[in-house]
Structure 1
Amino acid sequence: MAGAGSIEALQSKDVAPLIAAASDIALVLDAHGVIEDLSTSVNDLPVHDVEGWVGRAWADVVTPESRPKVQSLLLDAGRADGHRWRHVNHPGEAGHDFPVMYAAVPMGHDGRVLAVGRDVRHLGELQQKLVDAQQALERDYWRLRHAETRYQLMFDTASEAVLIVDGVGGRVLEANAAARQTLGVPVKRLVGQPLGAGLPDRTQRDLTALLGRVRASGRSEEVALRLGTAARRSDLLASASLFMEDDAPLYLLRLRQVQGDRSDLAASHRALVQVIDRAPDGVVVTDVDGRVLTANAAFVALTQLTAEDQLVGESIDRWLGRPGVDLQVMLATLRQQGVLRLFGTVVHGEHGVDADVEVSAAAVPDGDPPCLGFAVRHVGRRLGPALQAGKATPRSVEQLTQLVGRMPLKDLVRESTDLIEQLCIEAALQLTQGNRASAAEMLGLSRQSLYVKLHRYGMTEPAATDGR
């Protein structure tokens, strides 16, 4: 090469600073692999007494599994076909290994070797984040699979005939086994066909009218249907409710027999009440104004009371959300839509302990009496510790919006200002590669003001340089 002579002409006093600047750690080894000298450019090496490596064999300052790699590096140093980089771990403090990528090159003709290393701890951190993300995806996938399995099992084993009907085309999308028995039509002939296909014309008209009324009012209704002939007649009660899936309207249609022994139905209702009473999520039923009629044990525990009787007759906003605010929002939603989903708020315990919750609710305006049902799920463990405490600065707009309803507006404005300020500081540090002096100049701040803000946001880790 044209420049080879110039490089070889460099003096040792010129090469030493070059090696120190180009590597994170450099080792000078004799012909037997013993460390004669070393140089580091990393101030926070997680290794105890790195200067004590001098005079020891290189293989003695690495972990056992890395010793064969050290031997390979020493053997490769004399090869003319290039030098390979190898991942070597040094024993670190607190039981954590210090990973370094090494390459070895010969120095002169006396067998001495120069080992140049690069700190790759950041690659390990990225790999750990990738593993954590993959594990989170796996957990979410299996959680979804289990939920789908439970849904399909309940759908197929339900004693009532249940059909899912497309709200636009009127075709049956799903039907359980009870629907086949009730309508006398195989499930394969039900799915994909228009609702009411094969049924008497009057029954088809009644079903179409039922779905039309539900679509117009958004409320579930119940109508009587008659199937078969006068000699073999089957009277049914049909009810329908409207819900949305992927912005498409769908109907949940239920059919149940009118005649016959209703003891099984009554028993199933009693079982349902028992399940709700023992459910881990709070369930509370109120009148249309939000006064408690009944509640299960989980909701009583959330309010830090000892008995259900202490809640009956009281307004639910005594414990749920901000008094006079959250309840009115929920009531307005229930009046307009009939259902409420995943409303984030707080349950205030009688002894001052608050719990972050999600509330789903449904209105039963045609009940006896008309009532509202609320399902209250404790979600404190799903929120980050910073959001639970309400003190640390949010890291994203999504986290900031989760604080709505838990903090006053003026506090939210202050939190959003802190978030923007922190993001700008982080961006400036990234653009200047951690040079705080340049970052302060870019942001129009004094260096001292920038240090104060870094300390405030917990960003006081050692930077690449301070420009001094």
Structure 2
Amino acid sequence: MSDRVRVGVLPAPSRIERIIEQFADLAVAIDRDGKVLGISVSPESPYLGCLDHWIGRDFRNFLTEDSRSKFEDRIATVLSDPEAVVRPMELNHADNANWEFPIRYTIHDAGEDYGILLLGRDMQPFADIQQRLVREQLARERDAERFRGVETRYRVVFDASETPMAMVEPDTGRALDLNRAAMQLLGVKTDNLSANAFAQCFEGRRKGEFGEALKAAAAADDAQGVPAVIRRTSSEVRLFPEFFRASGEVAMLCRILPVTDEDQAGRDFQRSLAQLYDSTSDAILLTDAKGTIREANEGFLRLTDAAQLRDVQGRPLADFLARGSVDMKLILEQLERTGRLKGYSAQIESVVGMRATADISATRLNGRSDRHFGFVIREVSATQAISVAEAGATMSEEAMTNVMDLVGTASLKELVSATTDVVEKLCIETAVRLTDNNRVAAAEMLGLSRQSLYVKLRKYGLLDSGSDADEPGA
């Protein structure tokens, strides 16, 4: 035992003791009263420290309370019957430093000369493993309890919701879970759902097609949903799926909303509006706040001789107005000021240069993200255009009559010179009327400066009372 710490009356090295050294981490020799005669600590268990202070003291003093009674029982058995087979015992030691370590001992009666030999195996590594296992088990139990709490809250909220909802696996289209409202609406139970039962809950729906429709609706920006008819009740519903991720897996939550009569009427109205937009002979288009065309119907394409929507989409509406930016400026100013425009007469110029007289109505549309305008453009027939022109000319009928009375009294050159003032006055009146008495816009339309327009308005007596204050230099 030269490689051990050997203290006291343990026998001298021998072949048997070398075997003991290889077997025991701690060897203790005690007399029949329990007094420690000798002790040997294996160098492979250095954390046990130096235990030579045990020599000459009662072995019981270094045992915990619960281990003393166990030691007493086993020693009593050995002393009463040396030939008896005594099972190993596990004792917890506590020394003067107030720290504990477990040792598993086998008891051997060495006779009168050497007393009782206790050969111990250090159980601290096993105790550490057991403690880690216990901590892991407690942690697992806490996690399981927490999971049960979350599962309970989920189930209570899910089933208490009045909105029918289904958890769906996106790849297979299989329903993972239905809440109580969904089961009542569909007339099924969760236990009866098979791999393709969710698609079979609806009339005319196949598993693959239905799954693709749900995924497309979940990925779409607009919440149109997926229409369906419940097989058991023939009731119309609409499914609104949404993707979410749980534990690294993508799942889908589908809200199943019954279609009411009001919803059906609203969709019928939307379909009717869409049909009117596509089939009406009037031109309908939408522009942004600057007058750039976003959408246009077939009527506008016919009016402008455009072959397809992309020929006009993204272009300014002013490109198709004969007076271009002048008309567009007047229209946008009116829309910004009042929010609507009615009966604005303009010349529409097609992509091939053909012109047509049209009546324009427009309104301002305030969307969620930006402001835009809606236009309805109706082509005016030749007869209507003449009537409009005649209506505008009634203001100068007396002047024209006066000119006609001069025929025969003056030369043609003099007659043409006289009619120039009549035509000029008629054009100025028309420009002022078209611009709703906006004289800045009227001057721009006529190609005059603002001062020149005021001079001509004064010349023909077209200034309103009190309008001189607006005249430049007044």
Taking structure 1 as the reference length, what is the TM-score of the superposition?
A: 0.43
Q: Tell which structure's C-alpha radius of gyration is larger.
A: 2
Taking structure 2 as the reference length, what is the TM-score of the superposition?
A: 0.43
